[in-house]
Amino acid sequence: VYFDSFDADDGLFEFRGDGGYGQITRTIFQHGVGGNQTFAYYNGAGWNSFGDFNTGQWYHCAVVREGSGTNNVSVYRDGTRLGQCTDTGTFIEGNFIIGAGTNGAFEMDGNMDEIRVSDSARYSGSSCTVPTAAFENDANTLFLLHGDGTNGSQDFRDDNA
Residue 18: the pLDDT is 57
C-alpha closest to that of 78 among 134, 28, 4, 132:
132
The string of pLDDT tens digits covering residues 66-96 is 888 888 889 899 999 998 988 877 766 677 7
Least confident among 42-46, 75-79, 81-85, 106-110 = 42-46
C-alpha closest to that of 136 among 120, 119, 153, 160:
160
The string of pLDDT tens digits covering residues 127-158 is 999 999 999 999 999 989 888 777 767 667 77
Q: What is the pTM of this model?
A: 0.84
Ramachandran angles phi, psi of 118, nearest 5°: -125, 160
